[in-house]
Structure 1
Amino acid sequence: MKTDAIIFRSKIFPISFRLKKRVPIVLLILFVITLTAMVMNLSFGEYPIPPLAVVQTILGIDTGNPDYVFVINTLRLPRTLTACLVGMALAISGTIMQSITRNPLADPGIIGINAGASLAAVSLIVLLPSLPVYILPLAAFGGALMASLLIYFLAWDKGTHPVRLILIGIGIAAVAGAFTNLMVTFGDIYNVSQALVWLAGSVYGRSWEQLLSLLPWLMVFIPLALANTPQLNALNLGEEIAKGLGSKVEWQRSFLLLISAALSGAAVATAGTVGFVGLIAPHIARQLVGNIHEGLIPVAAMTGAMIVVISDFLGRILFAPIEIPCGIITAVIGAPYFVYLLVRSRRK
């Protein structure tokens, strides 16, 4: 028997050895692309720096120009790393959401979780602008969690159904969006301008303090997502099969929804509403490595990081010196892709 036909046992069902070998190769390719995009992002700007000098500065090698250290380490590196981590968080959140709803069009930004996080964060920016920056992720997570609980409660009818979760989530997103617009309409002009830039989805001006406030959330909830890949595999097969395999469907769906809300809330708090990443990245990852979540989640995370970093880079150079928020770039890419998925789903 050939080695690529060997299988190993997951807690839910077997995964081909060929897929197991493909995941590290795909991850390596995506990592190289993302790393290249990060170097280019650090290199270009009003003060251009050669890519080789960027690498030398990050590695602590003296380049003979002390300005490089300040520009890269203080101004550009925290922004680029923030874009990378935000993309990872949104992609994993979207992957979980699509699995627990069994809907390829599900996304935290579409079914209301991001809208709840946005409402809480905008309320904080407009009404309490003097609060320290580390409070913002807590507020956004609280808003995302409240939206998730409200969606789950309203969708409950002797259990939850993926279709009800999505339809009620769309309604919650509309209501939260209306209240967010209300805050923007009646807020102070300076705070409102900050909120509007934040709502567009941007990593502009992100500092090490904001990056470090995001990092603990990812360190907790990304491992939790990876630890629950067998449950995601089971839920992706359908409720009846999952129950037959011994899964506690409602409890697991609730816990996974909490993980998704935490990741999207932390990302929204840090970079605003960077749309469609949670929709696009899982689809690209599925095309590369299939539906098995042991490989899907890491590949989706790296794909999301790549998308946001490249979007931030394009936003900086396309109309320089004017910067376009990365959220606008992802929307320009993601909206047509969403329409394409709708048309393809209708044909099927």
Structure 2
Amino acid sequence: MSSNTSNPSITDAKTHGNIKGRPWAATLILTGGAAALVLGIALSISLGAADIDLRNVWEAVFFFNPDVTEHQIIQELRLPRVLGGAMVGACFAVSGAIMQGMTRNPLADSGLLGLNGGAGFVIAICFAFFPGLPYMYLILFSFLGAGLGAALVYGVSSMAKGGLTPVRLVLAGAALSALLSALSEGIALYFQVGQDMAFWYAGGTAGIKWVHLKIMLPWIAAAILGAIALSRSITMLSLGDDIAKGLGQRTGLVKLGGTVIVLVLAGAAVSVVGAVGFVGLMIPHLTRKLVGVDYRLIIPCSAVLGSLLVVIADLAARMVNPPYETPVGSIIALIGVPFFLYLARKERREL
């Protein structure tokens, strides 16, 4: 996976002959972001259709009493939801950071490059032909669907004259994502599984249960640890294939490992919350501006900021029109769409 256009911040790093991160900024983000995330989780558990004071939240988490209704609401509904949202935010953000680093494409994001659409398409097939499929198998098929979507997007965009460019890749991703979404909706209508698929179209965290978290956690933990292990190699790769090879990197293996990690992270996230986009587009950009272009700093900071964004967006989705919920994907898109248009216009000027 490669692109003809490099990230401006990476270009600056090449101009100066080295890559300099800002460890002090990363430390502030990790500590401050973690504190803000804990506060956001507490508020998200506390606020909702029935407000629960923070003291009861503390007691329900650490001194659970099954006879107390509020404790049951927190333990069975709100706690898995908010923890799942944090995990999903980290998945999208880290996968976006890896994609942008490997492809040197600042517009790379799982939602824009067909991974979400492919995963949703395969999930629609599962609902239609394999009703009642256990979630463990559903998440595996979601990985396969994400890979299918990515392969189609890169294949189609590579056929164009002049090869891959960031804008061409995104255009192919938008077209194929629309096609896969249309096919998913057709399957849902024909096989009468539209109600099951409605959640995936909107994108949301309301359906997350403890069983989902237990199955997701090993996959996500392994993928994020793998991303951290590959972070130095991805930094070298972000300078370009020739430079990475000159620095002793085995670029083919790095790209293969990064691709597998992206598919695991995006597939796991989409299987839980559906079509939520733009997290992997915005968060890595913001992180690079703050900590520099060293992916050893970008990846962990992106995980924290991505978790924080989804937790806050989920809280906002419940507070916009209570007691009804707005899809969390819509809340994030309100920020993400203008951000994407700004980046697309910037890239077009640089082509």
Q: Does 1:187 align with 2:191?
A: yes
Q: Does 1:26 align with 2:13?
A: no
Output the amino acid matched with 1:177. Answer: S
SS in 1 for 2:270: helix
CA–CA distance in structure 2, aligned partners of residues 319 and 103 of structure 1: 37
Check conservation: 2:19, 2:294, Cα contact below 8 A. no
SS in 1 for 2:207: coil
Aligned to 1:142: 144
Q: Does 1:55 align with 2:58?
A: yes
CA–CA distance in structure 2, aligned partners of residues 210 and 301 of structure 1: 19
Offset at 1:53? 2.2
Offset at 1:262? 1.1
Aligned to 1:117: 119
Q: Does 1:35 align with 2:19?
A: no
Distance 1:205 1:115, change over 3 A: closer
Aligned to 2:251: 249
CA–CA distance in structure 2, aligned partners of residues 151 and 85 of structure 1: 26
Check conservation: 2:117, 2:181, Cα contact below 8 A. yes
Instruction: Summarize the alignment of residues 166-205 of structure 1 with structure 2, pairs less than 5 Å apart.
Output: 168-188=172-192, 191-205=193-207
Distance 1:337 1:151, change over 3 A: closer
SS in 2 for 1:304: helix
CA–CA distance in structure 2, aligned partners of residues 49 and 58 of structure 1: 13
CA–CA distance in structure 1, aligned partners of residues 256 and 170 of structure 2: 14
Distance 1:344 1:74, change over 3 A: same
> Could you report, residue by residue, the CA deviation over 1:236-258 in whole angstroms, capped at 9, with x for unpaired residues?
10122112112222332232112
**Residue of structure 2 aligned with 1:68, choices 55, 67, 70:** 70
Check conservation: 2:120, 2:200, Cα contact below 8 A. no
Aligned to 1:276: 278
> Could you report, residue by residue, the CA deviation over 1:88-130 in whole angstroms, capped at 9, with x for unpaired residues?
0010011111111111111111111121111111221233231
Report how many aligned residue pairs link the two structures. Answer: 330
CA–CA distance in structure 2, aligned partners of residues 171 and 319 of structure 1: 32
CA–CA distance in structure 2, aligned partners of residues 343 and 153 of structure 1: 24
CA–CA distance in structure 1, aligned partners of residues 277 and 154 of structure 2: 22
SS in 1 for 2:135: coil
CA–CA distance in structure 1, aligned partners of residues 28 and 324 of structure 2: 37
Aligned to 2:338: 336
Output the amino acid matched with 2:265. Answer: L
- Point out where structure 1 has 5 or more consecutive residues left out of the alignment: 1-11
Offset at 1:269? 0.3
SS in 2 for 1:181: helix
Output the amino acid matched with 2:298. Answer: L
SS in 1 for 2:302: helix
Check conservation: 2:64, 2:71, Cα contact below 8 A. no
Check conservation: 2:76, 2:209, Cα contact below 8 A. yes
Give me the TM-score of the superposition, normalised by structure 1.
0.87
Distance 1:323 1:174, change over 3 A: closer
Check conservation: 1:26, 1:299, Cα contact below 8 A. yes
CA–CA distance in structure 1, aligned partners of residues 154 and 253 of structure 2: 12
- Point out where structure 2 has 5 or more consecutive residues left out of the alignment: 1-16
CA–CA distance in structure 1, aligned partners of residues 330 and 129 of structure 2: 25
Offset at 1:295? 0.6
After the TM superposition, list the runs of 4 or more consecutive aligned residues in structure 1 that deviate by more than 6 angstroms.
Answer: none
Aligned to 2:96: 94
Give me the TM-score of the superposition, normalised by structure 2.
0.86
Output the amino acid matched with 2:239. Answer: L
Aligned to 2:309: 307
> Percent of aligned positions with the same letter in both sequences?
34
> Could you report, residue by residue, the CA deviation over 1:8-61 in whole angstroms, capped at 9, with x for unpaired residues?
xxxx96645xx2233122111111111111111100122211123212321227
Check conservation: 1:95, 1:282, Cα contact below 8 A. yes
Check conservation: 2:20, 2:293, Cα contact below 8 A. no
